[in-house]
A and B are shown apart, each in its own frame.
Chain A
Amino acid sequence: MISVEGLEVSYGRFKEPVLKDVNAVFDGKSLILGPNGSGKTTLFRALCGLTNVRKGKILVDGVDVEEIYAKTGVVMANFPEVLSLLSIKVLDLIALYADLTGGDHAFAREILFDLGLNETLLKSKKLHELSAGQTKAVCTAIALSTRAKHALLDEPFEQLDPARKNRLIEHLRNYGGVIILNTHETWLIRNLANWKAFFMFEGALYGSVPVEDLLKAKFSFGEEAKTLFRMVVSGKAVSLVREGRGKPLLSLESLDKVYELALEGEKR
């Protein structure tokens, strides 16, 4: 379980905080939905202990993240920056992380085969020589193959074709540990039953609700009575309602479009 209490993170002492008073408990499979630039990746960096925390506390299984050293199998993430320990061929990189984490290097190759990356490519290319989609697939495969207790997956579906997205979803469903997955795409809501969902806008985290509650949810501007959450987007109050008037959440392909909605609402 990862718990976050009153977390505030900024990149520089006098800069506006990127994360503002974030509170959450991640104890199952959780989805963090938010537009690009909302602070989702920064939250993941903080959960890994890779960012200076201005205020608040992060506990991983009850231990302060700052105190964690050499704890194999506790946390794994899929960002290229944490998986670039050496500039070596991808196959060697997979073997390296399997060795360091006690992970299953055959499982990583199986996931990559499912995602359309063949052995020849893995043998001949380094991570930075792959396309953005291939890099993401390799990093996600490494993260899942370590079978860590907590897997932090940052936009794992980015630039995957629909068939491969389905295969990756199967791997996520079968994963035995806690998954925290962040994305700006809403189509995932239909496919991840029994997950918890959080929303992140402008550094603030809202939630959680069961993913099933979002299937008919709508964005409505202004204060509504029966809301799932009230959020602030571009300084305006936005309510996510279970039913009633508003723009259906699933009709927005990406949560980046919430800003367009906010702009339209302003014009009206």
Chain B
Amino acid sequence: MTKYFNLYLKALITNPHLIFWAIIFVEYWVLMWAYVFGANVPTYEEAVKNYVSAACGSLTLISLSSAATGIAETLIHSSKSIKFVTKYTRLSPPRFLVENMAASLAVLLIVSAIMFSSIIGVFCHKFEMMVLPVNPFGLIATTLLSAIFLYALSAFLSLLVVVLKAPKSASFVQFLPLIFSFLAYASLWVDLKIFAYISPFNCISALVYHYFSGEQPIMGGLLMPGEKEQMNITLTACSLITWTFTMLILVVILLRKMRGIGIEEIRLV
């Protein structure tokens, strides 16, 4: 690793924009899930466990995608420098990608750890019972895969803005992963059927739900009455892995193709 990894990690951890969106904003939603949305949840163990697992699935998405907005911002703002260093320093495009991704993943995992700890603490206070993940290793693996996916998605979107020379869209695009995460909330009320596998965001919340509760996730409509079709975990994981690899390949292609946008061009719009 070069000094880039350490300094980028330090810059991300101390980035006030990222701290606000990835920690303070997410804590607000943890409190909402516990005390507002959870006001009418029956207090028997099975119901609480299901509710906490569903909350965990949705909050993981919000938490990772909030952190991804900060990562997207740094990529767009330093795109000209990225192009330059990948050409004229020992940070080749693959090496840049590995170091940038490693530092970003470290941040995404720290943010997730803070969120999981606060979910356990806040929900324990609300329901007066401690709900812990049934399969912590599965949960860690899912969080890692989800973090890689969200990193790749936000890097892809940022580089697309740069390649298409569309600095006007920069601030909208950096929030797209967060917007998609909120749209994935629809699955709580709507049966997504086959789209449950197609949407990578739904796959993330379904896998987190599965490893937290030990139950099979459903295709959607968790909060609606009636019979629900269960999701196949292998198929769900395969869908998320495919999305992640596709995004990573696109990032590598765009990284070579882009020439960068100057900071002034972004400021001017």
Contact = CB atoms under 8 A, between A and B. Distances in A.
The answer to whether A and B assemble together is yes
A141 B256 CA distance: 28
Interface string B37-80: 00000000000000000000000000000000000001001101
A50 B262 CA distance: 10
A268 interface: no
| 5 residue pairs, one from A and one from B, having the closest CB atoms | A70-B92, A100-B89, A82-B84, A85-B81, A99-B3
B7 A69 contact: no
B88 A52 contact: no
Interface in A75-118: 75-77, 80-88, 92, 95-97, 99-102
A97 to B, nearest CB: 8
B88 A72 contact: yes
A69 B85 CA distance: 9
A148 interface: yes
A74 B80 contact: no
Contact of A69 (B4, B80, B81, B86): B86
A50 B80 contact: yes
Interface of A: 48-52, 68-77, 80-88, 92, 95-97, 99-102, 148
Contact of B259 (A51, A72, A96): A51
Contacts of A88: 7, 10-11
25 contacts: A49-B259, A50-B80, A68-B88, A70-B90, A70-B91, A70-B95, A71-B87, A72-B88, A80-B263, A81-B260, A84-B80, A85-B82, A86-B4, A86-B74, A87-B11, A87-B74, A87-B77, A88-B10, A96-B3, A96-B4, A99-B3, A99-B4, A100-B2, A100-B90, A102-B90
A48 B86 CA distance: 11
Given A50-B259, A100-B2, A101-B90, 13 more contacts: A48-B84, A48-B88, A70-B90, A70-B91, A73-B88, A77-B84, A82-B81, A82-B85, A84-B77, A96-B4, A96-B7, A100-B4, A100-B89
Interface of A is mostly: loop
A50 B92 CA distance: 16
Interface of B: 2-4, 7-8, 10-11, 74, 77-78, 80-93, 95, 256, 259-260, 262-264
A266 B228 CA distance: 84
A76 B89 CA distance: 9
B90 A86 contact: no
Contacts of A80: 263
Contact of B89 (A50, A52, A72, A84): A72
